[in-house]
A = this chain, B = another copy of it.
Amino acid sequence: MKVEIITIGDELLIGQVIDTNATWIAHQLTSHGSEIAAISSVGDCSENIFNAIDVAFERADILILTGGVGPTNDDRTKHTLCQYFHTALEFNDEVLLNIESIFLKRNLQLNNLTYKQAYVPASSNVIQNREGTAPILWFEKEDKILVSMPGVPYEMQTAMDKDVIPMLKKRFQVTEYVSRTCIVSGITESDLASKLADFELLLPSGFSLSYLPSLGYIRLRLSVWGNEHKTDLKQQIRNLKKIVKPYYVSKGSKLPEEILSEKLQKKELTLSTAESCTGGHIAHKITLLPNASKHYIGSIVSYANSVKEQLLNVDNNTIETHGVVSKEVVEQMVDNVSKTLNTNCSIAVSGYMGPDVGQNNQSVGTVWIATKYNDEIISHKHNVGINREYNIERTANLAILQLIKMIGKF
């Protein structure tokens, strides 16, 4: 079945908010066998919402809308849907009950605007919002379906997981999209493509290989429509793995920190970090994951040199002699943080993320990464680029990938 996603809100068109909803919905529906034909974003304007629905229904069987359903005057979706489906708003007691229970849970007072949320288009089926006050609306029209959801990400996500996806699956028989993904690192996209040119040429009909570059690594995704190709897909991914072996880090479409977390838990290892230039970003990536407390102990974010000396016992002479971005400094950092916080594994980074150039005119993007596993220490120098934000992200990924490879070796 073909799906289109329409996200609604002026904040998307003026670029104040990143459209993470479309990505999340696309990811969920794809993995449940839908094909996303297109994604579009329009402003809080009835005419544009109306037209977007009209255009999308020409190409797709199912439309998923988010946004524009709040209680404030700039939200136009509900009225536009009434227009589109030739219906009118009517008061819905069950929606009011749901709103009251949500407000009670949060200890908040209902006001007049909140009551407005209980008016819904008469011809829609209402799905109660489990997390918030704006109801989810399900419309049907000549075998096509439109679902309107709130734009608040966790409200929309809960509604999709618990209600909308199960209801859609009940209605449609779907061809499964099967794919295998792996992570490679330490090679450019064009070099990788050259290495894989013959492999791509020889792929069976219907198979496609995609290159998905991230900061510090590239994901390769091999995919095909139809569950019957699963065995063939497995064989092809084995062939691919042989070709990219020196750069291969891991299978799966998980994030580097998820892969690391699983490895640490499986081997019952503990981790600490000592971050200079990444300023806590490695710790943040790791602690975003629910089970972080099982293996992660803590981080010393030694942004100022004084903290490196005071809490990480980095020798002032080493900093003076070799510079703060050096093999010697990160190795002392990685060694001492694992001793101080008593962990089997540790990661340390020091680098110049820009825009200012480093000590002794060292160029922006120079970074040293050290990882420690039991008594072994490995350190590598990288040149990550010139954009501060990307440099921090790339360095964090490279550091995590370095530890994954190091643990994998033993």
Q: Point out residues on A near B: beta carbons under 8 Å.
A: 10-20, 22-30, 36-44, 48, 52, 55, 70-74, 106, 108-109, 111-114, 133, 152-154, 177, 188-191, 193-194, 197, 200, 208-213, 219, 221, 253, 273, 275, 278-284, 286-288, 290, 292-293, 296-304, 306-307, 310-311, 340-342, 354-356, 383, 385-390, 392
> How far apart are the CA atoms of A212 and B36 in the complex, in Å?
28
Q: Is the CB of A200 within 8 A of B17?
A: no
- Collect the chain B residues with CB atoms within 8 Å of residue A307's CB: 297-298, 341
Q: Are B152 and A213 in contact (CB under 8 A)?
A: yes
Interface of A is mostly: mixed
Interchain CB contact (< 8 A) of A301 among B113, B298, B342: B298
Using Cβ atoms and an 8 Å threshold, which residues of chain B touch A52?
A: 38
Contacts of A253 in B (CB 8 A): 16
Q: Are B303 and A300 in contact (CB under 8 A)?
A: no
Residues of B within 8 A of A290 (CB): 354-356, 388
- Measured between alpha carbons, how far is A258 from B138 in the docked complex, in Å? 41
User: Looking at A41, A296, A306, which has the most chain B CB atoms within 10 Å of its CB?
Assistant: A41
Measured between beta carbons, the chain B residues less than 8 angstroms from A154 are: 385-387, 390
Q: Are A304's CB and B300's CB within 8 A?
A: no
Asked whether A296 and B303 contact (CB < 8 A) given A30-B13, A38-B48, the answer is yes
